[in-house]
A and B are shown apart, each in its own frame.
Chain A
Amino acid sequence: EIVLTQSPGTLSLSPGERATLSCRASQSVSSSILGWYQQKPGQAPRLLIYGASSRATGIPDRFSGSGSGTDFTLTISRLEPEDFAVYYCQQHSISPPTYPFGQGTKLEIK
């Protein structure tokens, strides 16, 4: 089974700064099935990015995704106060069906 490893575990930044979050897969994955989520306390995860680089409906353009193969990146160009949360990457393998998640990166206010 593919394992997704996110780094760093915690990222401390200030509003207005740029955030770069990493997701590394244990083997090459299809970029067409790689997503990023934001989760705030007490809420379900919210889809930000699908297909590694496409923004989900209603997601601001300060969020962008990139990468292929085993290395994927979520970038937040200029942090807003509401962006401080936990971020997860997720992939889907078809056979057997699995939907692994990374362990998350906590983005906290510095």
Chain B
Amino acid sequence: QVQLQQSGPGLVKPSQTLSLTCAISGDSVSSNSATWHWIRQSPSRGLEWLGRTYYRSEWFKDCAVSVKSRMTINPDTSKNQFSLQLNSMTPEDTAIYYCARTVAGTGVFQIWGQGTMVTVSS
């Protein structure tokens, strides 16, 4: 049974960097058939896909245009997890952040982390 466990702070100051981690159990971050994502949800923006990483003989990473200049997503094979870093945070980045998994060919999010409520405030 695949499970995703998120960790990270719930409060970030404006201009600082958000760092979140998603630990994977029951699957491998290096799986050739899974893709690992970050998604956020806010009342103003709804559900918004942020980025993904996956391994297909080499590592690939993609980010949404809206956050591309500020976001880094990294796999950590030694800990079987992946992370999100979003810098230059503003109050508009206040949201619930989720990690999630898709399986190759389906394009839908079968497994979700529990979510992390992140507030950007001084």
Complex interface: chain B residues within 8 A of A46 (CB): 112
Minimum CB distance partner of A56 in chain B: B110
B 24-60 binary contact with A (CB < 8 Å = 1; else 0): 0000000000000101000000111100100000000
Which of A20-28, A72-80, A97-105 makes up part of the contact surface?
A: A97-105
Complex contact B106–A45 (CB within 8 A):
no
How distant is the Cα of A98 from the Cα of B51 in the complex, in angstroms?
9
Q: How many positions in chain A have a CB within 8 Å of any CB in the partner chain? A: 23
Our count of residue pairs bridging A and B at CB distance below 8 angstroms stands at 55
Report whether B114 and A99 are in contact in the complex, using a CB–CB cutoff of 8 Å: no
Known contacts A97-B62, A104-B46: does B106 contact A44 (CB below 8 Å)?
no
B108 and A44 form a contact (CB under 8 A): no
Asked if B64 is at the interface of the complex by the 8 Å CB criterion, the answer is yes
In the complex the two chains form, is B109's CB within 8 Å of A90's CB?
yes
Question: Is A44's CB under 8 angstroms from B46's CB?
Answer: no
Which residues of the other chain, B, contact A45 by a CB distance below 8 angstroms? Answer: 47, 109, 112
Can you name 5 A-B residue pairings with CB atoms under 8 Å?
Answer: A44-B115, A56-B110, A88-B47, A90-B108, A97-B62
- When A and B form their complex, which 3 residue pairs have the shortest distance between CB atoms, in order from nearest? A92-B107, A35-B108, A33-B107
